[in-house]
């Protein structure tokens, strides 16, 4: 199944919806009481998802054109957003950084979450070296602690697309990476969250980025240094991964910082990151004085 948080064009209120092709079905039209967010649906466990599947199959709820809506972040109020750096050898090399024996892990702050089609802005005085990073987002479905790698995909609820926007000058000026990647709107996710059964193999997905009409990243998730299962096993050794936790699994090569000449996101740039089977996530950029 495919989900999104949608808003009417004249409203700020978000609705959880099932997406079926070019149509949206509001979950509130299917269930009573209904989960208002993806997080609430995930916390309802397998039973909640099964009830929703059954309701959709009856096909009695009204359908709305998806184009009539704007998008919120695919995840809202997750317990944590964990990001993994240097998880593609090409990206580590182009940044001049070494992939360590253990994954490089940091957190992204919730204010950075935003949706497909939204505008992300930042002041010119703070950074003029803002970069894009296409990433596969993994959504945890149930509490997971000390999960062996061979069982790790069993705790995945679903997947989404993440653009891990990064202020490179701040990244290389500070010892931690959370601030440079957590400006307001620096973590677009979506447009959709798809359930795990929709993705046969998270290590066999085409992932790409287009900036202002030019393809700048073009890779496969099979190029990850550590696959999704290994990342989940590693993270769950030290913390209990709570339902709804989002793990952003790293970016392939092709970052703007490493290009000659460099490509950074400019005022009025449009950047789209996509992953086959999940969707294409577009962000509009504005730089303020």
Based on the fold, state whether residues 45 and 85 are members of the same structural domain: no
- Summary count for the chain: helices (H), strands (E): 5, 19
Q: How far apart are the C-alpha atoms of 102 and 226, rounded to whole Å?
A: 10
Domain shared by 149 and 201, yes or no? yes
Task: Give the pLDDT confidence score for residue 74 in this predicted structure.
Answer: 98
Where does a domain end: 46, 71, 96? 71
Query: Which residues form the domain of 22?
Result: 2-71
In a shared domain, residues 22 and 99 = no
Which residues of the chain form beta strands (DSSP E)? 2-8, 15-20, 23-26, 64-65, 69-71, 81-85, 104-107, 113-114, 119-123, 130-131, 134-140, 156-163, 166-167, 187-195, 206-211, 214-220, 246-248, 270-275, 279-288
CATH of the domain at 162: 3.90.850.10
Q: CA-CA distance, 153 to 175, in Å (whole number)? A: 32
Q: Does the residue 194 lie in any domain?
A: yes
Whether 157 and 212 share a structural domain: yes
Of 26, 80, 48, the C-alpha closest to 248 is 80
Report whether 94 contacts 219 (CB < 8 A): no
What is the CATH classification number for the domain harbouring 9? 2.30.30.230
C-alpha 34/C-alpha 52 separation (Å) is 9
DSSP-H helix ranges across the chain = 38-43, 45-58, 89-94, 168-171, 228-238
The β-bridge partners of 188 are 114
- Of 39, 71, 103, the domain-final residue: 71
Compute CA distances 14 → 36, 38, 46, 75, whole Å.
8, 11, 23, 12
- Could you read off the pLDDT tens digit of each residue along the chain, which spans 289 residues? 999 999 998 898 999 999 999 999 999 999 999 999 999 999 999 999 999 999 998 867 899 999 999 999 999 999 999 999 989 887 667 777 766 678 899 999 999 999 999 999 999 999 999 999 999 999 999 999 999 999 999 999 999 999 999 999 999 999 999 999 999 999 999 999 999 999 999 999 999 999 999 999 999 999 999 999 999 999 999 999 999 999 999 999 999 998 999 999 999 999 999 999 999 999 999 999 8
Whether residues 134 and 18 share a domain: the answer is no
Q: What is the pTM (predicted TM-score) of this model?
A: 0.96
Other CB atoms within 10 A of residue 273 CB: 27
117, 148: one domain = yes
Alpha carbon distances (Å) from 289 to 118, 121, 128, 185 = 20, 10, 11, 17
Instruction: Determine the pLDDT at residue 144.
Output: 97
* Strands 279-288, 2-8: pairing kind: unpaired
Q: From CA 159, how far away is CA 246, in angstroms rounded? A: 9
- What is the per-residue pLDDT for 84? 96
Distances, alpha carbon 52 to alpha carbons 26, 29, 45, 111, 121, in Å: 11, 11, 11, 29, 37
Number of domains into which the chain is organized: 2
């Amino acid at each position: 199944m495919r989900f999104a948080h949608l808003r009417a064009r004249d409203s700020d209120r978000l609705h959880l919806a099932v997406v079926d092709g070019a149509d949206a079905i509001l979950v509130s039209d299917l269930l009573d009481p209904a989960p208002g967010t993806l997080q609430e649906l995930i916390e309802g466990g397998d039973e909640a998802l099964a009830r929703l599947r059954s309701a959709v199959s009856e096909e009695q709820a009204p359908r709305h054109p998806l184009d009539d809506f704007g998008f919120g972040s695919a995840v809202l109020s997750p317990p944590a957003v964990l990001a993994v750096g240097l998880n593609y050898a090409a990206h580590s090399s182009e940044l001049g950084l070494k992939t360590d024996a253990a994954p490089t892990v940091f957190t992204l702050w919730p204010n950075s979450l935003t949706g497909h089609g939204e505008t992300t802005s930042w002041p010119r005085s703070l950074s003029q070296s803002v970069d894009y990073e296409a990433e596969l987002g993994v959504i945890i479905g149930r509490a997971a602690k000390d999960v062996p790698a061979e069982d790790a995909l069993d705790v995945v609820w679903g997947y989404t697309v993440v653009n891990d926007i990064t202020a490179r000058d701040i990244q290389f000026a500070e010892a931690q990476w959370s601030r440079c990647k957590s400006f307001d709107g620096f973590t677009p996710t979506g447009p959709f969250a798809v359930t795990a059964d929709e993705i046969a193999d998270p290590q066999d997905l085409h992932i790409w980025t287009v900036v202002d009409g030019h393809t700048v990243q073009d890779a496969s998730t099979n190029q990850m240094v550590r696959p999704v299962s290994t990342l989940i096993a590693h993270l769950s050794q030290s913390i209990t991964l709570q339902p709804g936790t989002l793990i952003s699994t790293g970016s392939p090569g092709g970052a703007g910082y490493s290009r000659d000449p460099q490509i950074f996101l400019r005022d009025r740039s449009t950047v789209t990151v996509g992953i086959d089977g999940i969707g294409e996530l577009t962000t509009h950029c504005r730089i303020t004085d």
